[in-house]
Amino acid sequence: MPEYLKWLLLFGVGSIAGIINVNAGGGSSLTLPALIFIGLDGALANGTNRIGILLQTATAVSSFRQQKFHRFRMSLTLALFTLPGAVAGALLSVRISNEWFHRILGMVMIGIVISLFLPKPKGALSVDIENHRKTWLIYPAMLGIGFYGGFIQIGVGFLLMAALYHLLRISLVHVNMHKVFIVCLYTIPALVIFVLTGHVNWGYGLCLAGGMAFGGWCGARIAVKGGERIIRIILALAILIMSMKILNII
């Protein structure tokens, strides 16, 4: 494949993945295969993908803020609990085999899909999270999710949505607002580890990041203007794509 086609492919796939990631999760199920398709091995693709994740989530956080959807104090508190897990997960990721990489992905995604379709608790549409009762279970959940995100990233948005949605009982718009902030913060130390271990291709990573940043910016606006109805449609699409990838249909 000519080099220019690789760049166009990465930017296009990144744009789609950015929209999906902000509104649901699973965008990395598109970007990682794309990176592998153009010639990167699994470990290098996993690290390179983090450049796009970082820029996309930073752009989405900024977009939410411009639309006056932000609770930075709560987002930061939740994100800090993910950092130890993200560091440990990234360290494990550069040492594990591709075979185990895919086995773990398949097992976790079964649990994610089931979790996302559990009945919503009563009162789940509270939007004032600063005054809403919080449960302590969210904090160990953030630690575990940070580990998974640092390790593989694929589908971490589903895990965050399930945890925030069911444990904090907040609307999906606010779930996505917190989600992008949390992923942005824990991606920083994870990316540093991948860089230091030589598992990043900067050229492809920055091209992918440009597309994901554009998609993240658009995705935040879709989330706010479209509300929960649009988010649910994108969520269903993302789960379908993820399931088809796990079953090797696409």
Question: What's the pLDDT band for 182 if we cut at 50, 70, 90?
Answer: very high
How far is residue 227's CA from residue 215's CA, in Å, rounded to a whole number?
17
The predicted model gives 154-179 an average pLDDT of 84
The predicted model gives 28-36 an average pLDDT of 83
Q: How confident is the model at residue 140, as a pLDDT?
A: 92
CA 177-47-184 angle, 5° bins: 20
Neighbour-count burial for 86-108, b at 16+ CB within 10 Å, e otherwise: bbbbbeebbebeeeebeeebeeb
> Of 201, 178, 224, which is closest to residue 44 (Cα–Cα)?
201
- SS3 of 105-139: the string is HHHHHHHHHHHHCCCCCCCCCECCCCCCCCCCCHH
Q: How confident is the model at residue 78, as a pLDDT?
A: 92
CA 185-199-25 angle, 5° bins: 45
| One-letter identity of residue 217 | W
Q: How confident is the model at residue 59, as a pLDDT?
A: 85
Q: Under DSSP, is residue 201 helix (H, G, I), strand (E, B) or coil?
A: coil
Distance of CA 92 to the CA centre of its chain: 19
> Of 196, 195, 126, which is closest to residue 167 (Cα–Cα)?
126
How far is residue 206's CA from residue 149's CA, in Å, rounded to a whole number?
20
Residue % of the chain over a pLDDT of 70 = 75
Start-to-end Cα distance in the chain: 20
| Mean pLDDT of the residues in the chain | 80
pLDDT in tens, 72-113: 888 999 999 999 999 999 999 888 877 776 667 667 656 655
Q: Indicate if the pLDDT at residue 205 is higher than 90.
A: yes
The predicted model gives 152-176 an average pLDDT of 83
Name residues whose C-beta falls within 8 Å of residue 123's C-beta, 6 or more positions apart in sequence: 169
Q: How confident is the model at residue 4, as a pLDDT?
A: 86
pLDDT in tens, 118-163: 665 554 434 344 444 457 889 999 999 999 999 988 878 888 888 8
> Is residue 132 exposed (0-12), middle (13-18) or buried (19+ Cβ within 10 Å)?
middle
Domain ranges of the chain: 3-246
Six-digit token pair at 107?
Answer: 């097992």
Question: What's the pLDDT band for 37 if we cut at 50, 70, 90?
Answer: confident
Q: Indicate if the pLDDT at residue 222 is higher than 80.
A: no
Between 217 and 114, the more confident residue is: 217
